[in-house]
């Protein structure tokens, strides 16, 4: 076997990622070198600059003539990856923008680190979107998760933040272990970490190792279910969302979830869902279990959101329900009659991105003026700030409107729950 090497000319495909790494290192070094009295807000602007440059480079990579792959699919540029990277980068950029100046108020001491740690987190998400190899995918996942644990723990004086970070690190560690266990079965069956090689090996030996393949599938599903906070693997989400600083919560709800879906889509689609396994029992069962997971998430998320008084917890449950909706395009059959799964998925993800970051931004403003994040903070908003109440309405009406008609009714139930709580809160 000829050894695969990374050539210098291959680095041009890695430029968006390298931009993020260089910016993060630069911000870290400046943070160390500059004297204490210099304000650390330059870190935020540097982070934003790095993200904008990375967005430009990623946009240049859009629509390649044919997918570029490096080192046996270890890194891969196709439109799936580039578009998801744009979503991740735009999401991270908006979150950083939203947290400008809020760090000091939120009782965060390490302001410099707080901003530039968003960069490696986005890098992890980008790697998760653009790889066809289990090892690279897993390393990207861990980079995103470990950075998120640190970001959640940034409010060090608050007990809720500490509790949330601890729950997140323990449950996140367990879910990573479950994912690794599932991946190890796939490697044991196929002898390769490459997703396409695993797919063809599974098609060849499916009858001998049927049990093991199903086991691997369910372990992976459970592990990814934790990462995207789909019910019944959602129990960490409300506590972590409540404890984290609000911009970090928005990051977890949008970017982390989007990257989790990127890896889920890639693994389910390339390994279990299609290609040589098209039409087998395994594919049907895989899609059925994804649909069941989606249904449970929608029902549990929307039903439990009705009982919440804290807006962050409410948004956490809305995130769980949305995970259910986002699972639908992955779970539907990919066939000649219906092959737009990815476009549907991306469409909904983009709508979810703007809707959710908007909701969190409104929550931040209301939280600042009313001093708490309970629903009663929204009471009397009309009298306190004329003109402002339209904004949450905008973001929640954009919610059903931007969806395809297929899941309109489902989305209505969720935003109805939100509106109803809002009106109850204002009436009180």
Stretch that binds other proteins, among 206-214, 302-310, 352-360, 395-403 (CB under 8 A): 206-214
Cα–Cα distance for residue pair 107/155, rounded to 1 Å: 6
CB of 59 to other proteins, least distance (A): 22
Q: Are strands 75-77 and 68-70 parallel, antiparallel or unpaired?
A: antiparallel
Which residue, 121 or 351, is less far from other proteins as judged by CB? 121
What SS3 state is found at 100? Answer: coil
Cis status, amide bond into 119, omega within 30 of 0? no
Name the phi and psi angles at 99, rounded to 5: -90, 5
Based on the shown chain and the rule CB under 8 A, indicate whether residue 188 belongs to the binding site for other proteins. yes
Stretch that binds other proteins, among 1-9, 45-53, 349-357, 364-372 (CB under 8 A): 1-9
Based on the shown chain and the rule CB under 8 A, indicate whether residue 75 belongs to the binding site for other proteins. yes
Which residue, 119 or 290, is less far from other proteins as judged by CB? 119
CB of 6 to other proteins, least distance (A): 5
Nearest to 240 by CA among 231, 253, 221, 230: 253
Which residue, 32 or 337, is less far from other proteins as judged by CB? 32
Interaction pattern, residues 91-120, with other proteins; x per rule: CB under 8 A = ------------------xx--x---x--x
Based on the shown chain and the rule CB under 8 A, indicate whether residue 150 belongs to the binding site for other proteins. yes
- 12 Cβ partners below 8 Å, 6+ apart? none
Cα–Cα distance for residue pair 353/254, rounded to 1 Å: 6
Based on the shown chain and the rule CB under 8 A, indicate whether residue 69 belongs to the binding site for other proteins. no
Give the DSSP letter string of 360-407.
Answer: HHHHHHHHHHHS--BGGGGTTHHHHSTTSTHHHHHHHHHHHHTS-GGG
Q: From the CA atom positions of the chain, what is the Rg in Å?
A: 22
Interaction pattern, residues 155-174, with other proteins; x per rule: CB under 8 A = -x--------x---------
Based on the shown chain and the rule CB under 8 A, indicate whether residue 209 belongs to the binding site for other proteins. yes
**Can you tell me which of 23, 43, 47, 147 binds other proteins, judged by CB under 8 A?**
147
Based on the shown chain and the rule CB under 8 A, indicate whether residue 36 belongs to the binding site for other proteins. no
Query: Which ranges in 99-209 belong to alpha helices (H)?
Result: 102-105, 111-116, 118-129, 134-152, 159-190, 195-205
Query: Which ranges in 191-308 belong to alpha helices (H)?
Result: 195-205, 210-228, 236-243, 246-251, 257-267, 281-305
Which positions lie near other proteins, rule CB under 8 A? 3-6, 14, 21, 24, 28, 70-72, 74-75, 109-110, 113, 117, 120, 123-124, 127, 133, 135-136, 139-140, 142-143, 146-147, 149-150, 153-154, 156, 165, 188-189, 191, 205, 208-209, 211-212, 214-215
């Amino acid at each position: 076997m000829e050894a695969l090497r990374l050539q210098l000319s291959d680095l041009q495909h890695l430029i968006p990622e390298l931009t993020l790494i260089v910016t993060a290192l630069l911000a870290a070094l400046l943070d160390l070198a500059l004297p204490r009295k210099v304000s650390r807000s330059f870190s935020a602007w540097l982070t934003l600059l790095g993200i904008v440059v990375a967005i430009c480079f990623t946009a240049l990579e859009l629509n390649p003539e044919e997918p570029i792959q490096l080192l046996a699919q270890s890194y891969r540029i196709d439109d799936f990856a580039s578009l998801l990277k744009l979503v991740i980068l735009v999401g991270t950029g908006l979150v950083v923008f939203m947290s400008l100046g809020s760090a000091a108020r939120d009782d965060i001491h390490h302001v410099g680190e707080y901003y530039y740690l968003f960069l490696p987190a986005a890098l992890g998400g980008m790697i998760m979107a653009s790889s066809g190899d289990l090892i690279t995918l897993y390393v990207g996942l861990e980079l995103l998760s470990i950075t998120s644990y640190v970001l959640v723990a940034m409010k060090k004086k608050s007990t809720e933040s500490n509790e949330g970070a601890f729950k997140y690190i323990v449950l996140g560690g367990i879910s990573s272990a479950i994912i690794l266990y599932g991946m190890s079965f796939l490697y044991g069956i196929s002898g390769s970490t490459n997703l396409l090689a695993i797919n063809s090996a599974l098609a060849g030996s499916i009858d001998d190792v049927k049990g093991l393949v199903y086991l691997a599938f369910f372990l992976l599903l459970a592990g990814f279910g934790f990462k995207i906070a789909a019910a019944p693997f959602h129990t960490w989400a409300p506590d972590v969302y409540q404890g984290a600083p609000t911009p970090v919560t928005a990051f977890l709800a949008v970017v982390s979830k989007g990257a989790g879906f990127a890896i889920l889509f890639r693994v389910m689609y390339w390994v279990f869902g299609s290609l040589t396994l098209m039409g087998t029992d395994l594919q049907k069962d895989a899609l059925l279990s994804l649909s069941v997971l989606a249904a449970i998430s929608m029902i549990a998320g929307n039903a439990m959101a009705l009982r919440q008084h804290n807006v962050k917890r409410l948004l956490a449950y809305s995130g769980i329900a949305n995970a259910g909706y986002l699972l639908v395009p992955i779970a539907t059959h990919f066939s000649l009659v219906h092959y737009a799964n990815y476009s549907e998925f991306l469409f909904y993800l983009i709508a979810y991105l703007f809707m959710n970051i908007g909701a969190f931004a409104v929550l931040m403003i209301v939280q600042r003026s009313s001093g708490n994040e309970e629903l009663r903070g929204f009471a009397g908003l009309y009298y306190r700030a004329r003109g402002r109440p339209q904004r949450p309405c905008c973001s929640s009406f954009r919610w059903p409107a931007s969806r395809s008609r297929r899941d309109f009714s489902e989305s209505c139930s969720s935003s109805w729950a939100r509106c109803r709580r809002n009106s109850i809160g204002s009436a009180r």
